Amino acid sequence: MIGRRTLFGAATASVAFGTMLRQQVAEAATMGAAGDFSPRGADGRLQRLASLDLESQQDFTLGFRLMHGKKIRAMSMNAFDRVLASKGVDPATPLSLEDVLALVENEPTINIATKAWLANQQVTWKTLQDHFHANEDFYMSEMEAADKAGPGSLELNPTMNIPDYARHEIHIQPGGYVGDPFAGHIYHYGTNSFYISVIGHNEQDQIHKATAARFPIPEDGKVKRILDMGCGVGQMTVALKERFPDAEVWGIDVGGPMVRYAHMRSRRLGVGANFAQRLNEDSKFPDNHFDLVVSYIVHHELPADITRKVIAEAHRVTRPGGVYYPLDFNSGGVRSPAHGMYGRWWDHRWNNEVWSFEYHNMDFTAEIAKRFSMVKNAKAALPGFGVRHAIKA
């Protein structure tokens, strides 16, 4: 049980932590403003951050993220359980969002944990964004040099009408995926720590490579063309090209800065994947074109009506006998056990997962089954996520 002294100490630490992080942000804003850094080489597949100060700051935010997950979050969940017990609510009882919020929204330990997480997330992004913008000439020239070079190709559409649904700052990343020229750089380095704290190390694309290796292929064994819908910075696209080196592999994403970074990184790795700034729901590819169409944790970032359009588009471009495997969270239902429902709301409210409730309230697998034949007893491409092995008749 957490006493008043422990709770007061946690609150004081949270305030002090926030003050310290703001000081670090101010220091990071001036770091490298005069271009006073040199590239520091690569650690395997990952280009090292260009200054030791920035690398150290990211190590610190990662360490705090891990500590939060193991200690502060545990305190928060213990407080959550105490509230449920005091109200006589069985933790396994399915509750609505309104029920859950009425129980815990004013619990101080939970709110302290949220504030600490939020401050750390903000600094993770801000230190990265400040560095790349302070050294804009260097990083922009790097991308420009790669834009028209191979292997692989890049298609940008600067006049594209970006849909409103794609303009949100997902994960509270400043500018989101479309509003900052260095969105790809920021996303890649920021999400490395997300992986370590939730799934496992991914600095060498370990999660993407392992998942790509488990994607099923058509029964006839033919894999000549592959599409990765909503490819982000191209880690899955590259992993698929490495698994199928003789295939034509495309990654598409609404975020121009994302595919631009993806192409530069793919080229640096010597992988000839192709990237294009296009909409998942309007990919511009011919009918029956791809043997394998995948997506990686994209649909919970989309409104439900767009998800349905993307499924229709995937069906159009997949060839008969081809495989569609959209990987994402399990979904379906507006009620769940208290912890799960609170976590879903928390992610929506504080991590800016704008469309997550629409996704979770839709039966994603059933929507796919309206157009594709679903393989029974299929294996998970990424353990812990929904299994959706679909075949176009």
pLDDT in tens, 81-134: 999 999 999 999 988 889 999 988 889 999 899 999 999 999 999 999 999 999
* Beta-strand pair 318-327/390-391: antiparallel
Beta strands in 230-352 (DSSP E): 248-253, 274-277, 290-296, 318-327, 336-337
Query: Using one digit for the tens of pLDDT, what is the confidence trace for 225-234?
Result: 999 999 999 9
In sequence order, which residues have a C-beta less than 8 Å from that of residue 188 and are 6 or more positions away?
233, 261, 265
Query: Does residue 329 sit in helix, strand or coil?
Result: coil
Tokens encoding 299? 């649909």
Q: Residue 94: which H helix or E strand, with range?
A: strand 94-95
CB 322 within 8 A of CB 290: yes
Return the closest-CA partner of residue 388 out of 361, 360, 369, 362. Answer: 369
What pLDDT band is residue 19 in, cutting at 50, 70 and 90?
A: low
Is the pLDDT assigned to residue 140 strictly greater than 90?
Answer: yes
The continuous run of DSSP H or E covering 31 comes out as none
Query: Which whole-number Å values give the CA distances from 82 to 87, 102, 103, 242, 385, in the listed order?
Result: 9, 14, 11, 50, 29
- Tally of CB atoms within 10 A around 370: 10
β strands within 132-278, DSSP E: 154-155, 225-229, 248-253, 274-277
Which of 322, 359, 330 has the alpha carbon at shortest distance from 227? 322
Per-residue pLDDT for 31 more than 50?
A: no
The three-point CA angle 109-110-114 to 5° equals 115
Percent of the chain with pLDDT strictly greater than 70 = 91
Q: Mean pLDDT score of the chain, rounded to an integer?
A: 91
pTM confidence score: 0.90
